[in-house]
Amino acid sequence: MKSCLVVDDSRVVRKVARKILEELNFTCSEAEDGKQAMEACAASMPDAILLDWNMPVMTGIEFLRRLRKMSGGQTPKVVFCTTENDLAHIQEALSAGANEYIMKPFDSEIIQTKFQQVGLL
Decide: 121 and 111 in contact? Cβ < 8 Å.
Answer: no
Task: Give pLDDT tens digits for 15-30.
Answer: 999 999 999 999 999 9
Domain contains 99: yes
Greatest Cα-to-Cα distance within the chain, rounded to the nearest angstrom? 35
> Is residue 103 predicted with pLDDT exceeding 90?
yes
CATH code where residue 39 lies:
3.40.50.2300
Domain contains 121: no
Domain contains 67: yes
pTM of the model as a whole: 0.97
Domain contains 41: yes
Range of the domain at 44: 1-116
What is the model's pLDDT at position 50?
98
Residue 117 confidence class, pLDDT cut points 50, 70, 90: very high
What is the model's pLDDT at position 84?
87
Task: Give pLDDT tens digits for 28-87.
Answer: 999 999 999 999 999 999 999 999 999 999 999 999 999 999 999 999 999 999 998 899
Question: DSSP alpha helices (H): ranges in the chain?
Answer: 11-23, 34-43, 60-69, 87-96, 108-117
- DSSP annotation of 46 reads -
What is the model's pLDDT at position 85?
86
Strand bridging mode 77-82 / 100-103: parallel
Per the structure, the count of domains in the chain is: 1
Domain contains 101: yes
Domain contains 10: yes
What number is the average pLDDT over the span 96-104? 96
